[in-house]
Structure 1
Amino acid sequence: MEMIEQVKQQQNAFEKFYAPEQKSEFNFHITKDPLTRYIRDRRLLKGLDVLKKHHANILSWNVLITCGGVGGEGLFLKKYGFKSVTVSDISENSLKICNQFDPEITTLILNGENLDVPDNSYDLVVVQDGLHHLPRPVTGFTEMLRVAKKAVIVIEPYESLIGNLIGTKWEEHEGALNFVYRWNKKSITKAVNSFLLKDYKLIKVLRFWDHSMMVFKIAGKLPKSMQLTAAKIIYGLLLPFNFLGNMMVAVILK
């Protein structure tokens, strides 16, 4: 299948996936439920913690979310305190839902492999579980590096033996198929070096376990007052084994 046809097929599939009548399926992005919010936000918070160690006033940065879907990451960052947040996606329907969740948030229709904005146009560029939907994930990553002026946060599956054995290999949305591309510290470092050469300050790759559905099912069976504590305990017990984890947060500072 030619690249243009593949991208178009995926775009059509996501327009169906994010059809207006499906809006309620994405309400977990705006919920105030403590357990859901913890599971939803913990990975983004790991990336922000790295940024805060190196920059004092990140909330003044302008942020672009790429492959942003209905805007979960953008909505979170806006509530976190970022003054300027833009959510982009290839699907018009997804961005309409985003604007229904928050009419004031900025949205842009952009292809993650070809971000139609100038170099260094956003201080921070973020993706969560989006690059592996692209036909060329590394191209999407280098586009983020091009557009970011100060930093990039990438949250994606980590290349691991366990992930390769029992993790999802192929995803299908409304008939459109994509390969679940997994990264590791070496592949992130090589891509950054190749694109930025020596023009960067830091590459930080955090590897950890992330099993949101499993943790939600286990903790969700407990009384409401105990659910958040239980989820934190589960992930706390996995901390010594993070070196074998299935997920990563990569932070690149320019």
Structure 2
Amino acid sequence: MLEQVKQQQNAYEEIYAPEQKSEFDFHITPDPLTRYLRDRRLLKSLEVLKDFDADYKNWSVLLTCGGVGGEGIFFKKNGFADVTVSDISENSLKICNEFDPTIKTIMLNGESLDIDDNSYDLVVVQDGLHHLPRPVSGFTEMLRVARKAVIVIEPYDSLIGNLIGTEWEVQGDAINYVFRWDKKTFTQVVKSYLLKDYAPIKVLRFWDHGLAVSKLASKFPKSMQLSVAKLIYTLFSPFNFMGNMFVGIKIMKPGE
């Protein structure tokens, strides 16, 4: 294991220490506003899968860099029965097990998944690759492990994102570059790994500022907050071509 990876592992064991569990309760809250802001990116991804395979909820799912299992909880709530959350932090997986004991967990390094090729139908990461020292390695590992599709949800490599976003992430002794994706980068990595049989690829770009939208919506009565949040994103939708959020979806061809 690279020393940089080991440093990150130690840092995240501290972040996900048992006494910090309450800080992650937003993953399991039934609050409509929080759920909408937490889940909207994943819901957009599922709309693409639905067009590809109506039976997609019977797929097995692996979440990489899954933390305390927020994405795993999402997939379980949306009808997926076979869900596994992986992370490099043992403490994060313990919290995941407490949040939802029906979710399978496995300790894995996102850069080098110690499992066989084509082990899961769907492999998903949300805001996880940019925590890795080598995010492209993490992505190609997802392509290797997936049978049917890969979903990558990460910051978009945009002018605004680079101006106001974080370039270097520091957690204790661990430091990594915040890697941002765009359609060209995503496609080139897919092509370099899968060669000529790389299609189909779907890339979504849109605005996503959950914290800012939450603060603004919370100024309204509780009964109005969800509607206000949806209105904000509706008003921004004509400008999604400039958005800060990247969703890349690779549908695997038979035999890949």
> Structure 1 length normalisation: TM-score?
0.98
Following superposition, the deviation at residue 86 of structure 1 comes to 0.2
Which one-letter code corresponds to 1:140 in the other structure?
G
Note the residue ranges of structure 2 that are not aligned, 5 or more in a row: none
User: Does residue 1:117 correspond to 2:115, yes or no?
Assistant: yes
1:28-43 equivalences in 2 (<5 Å): 28-43=26-41
How far apart, CA to CA, are the structure 1 residues paired with 2:82 and 2:226?
30
Aligned residues: 252
User: Does residue 1:75 correspond to 2:107, yes or no?
Assistant: no
Contact 1:209–1:235 (Cα < 8 Å) also in 2? yes
User: 185, 189, 192: which one pairs with 1:191?
Assistant: 189
Partner residue, 1:128: 126
Note the residue ranges of structure 1 that are not aligned, 5 or more in a row: none
More displaced 10-residue stretch of structure 1: 158-167 or 29-38: 158-167
How far apart, CA to CA, are the structure 1 residues paired with 2:139 and 2:156?
15
How far apart, CA to CA, are the structure 2 residues paired with 1:6 and 1:177?
8
Deviation readout 1:23-60 (Å, 9 max, x if unpaired) = 00000000000000000000000110000011110011
Is the partner of 1:81 in helix, strand or coil?
A: coil
Contact 1:16–1:174 (Cα < 8 Å) also in 2? no
Which one-letter code corresponds to 1:192 in the other structure?
V
Partner residue, 1:178: 176
User: 82, 85, 101: which one pairs with 2:83?
Assistant: 85
Is the partner of 2:30 in helix, strand or coil?
A: coil
> Structure 2 length normalisation: TM-score?
0.97
Is the partner of 1:116 in helix, strand or coil?
A: coil
Partner residue, 1:244: 242
Is the partner of 1:97 in helix, strand or coil?
A: helix
How far apart, CA to CA, are the structure 2 residues paired with 1:22 and 1:174?
16
Which one-letter code corresponds to 1:62 in the other structure?
S
Contact 1:35–1:231 (Cα < 8 Å) also in 2? yes
Seq. identity, %: 72
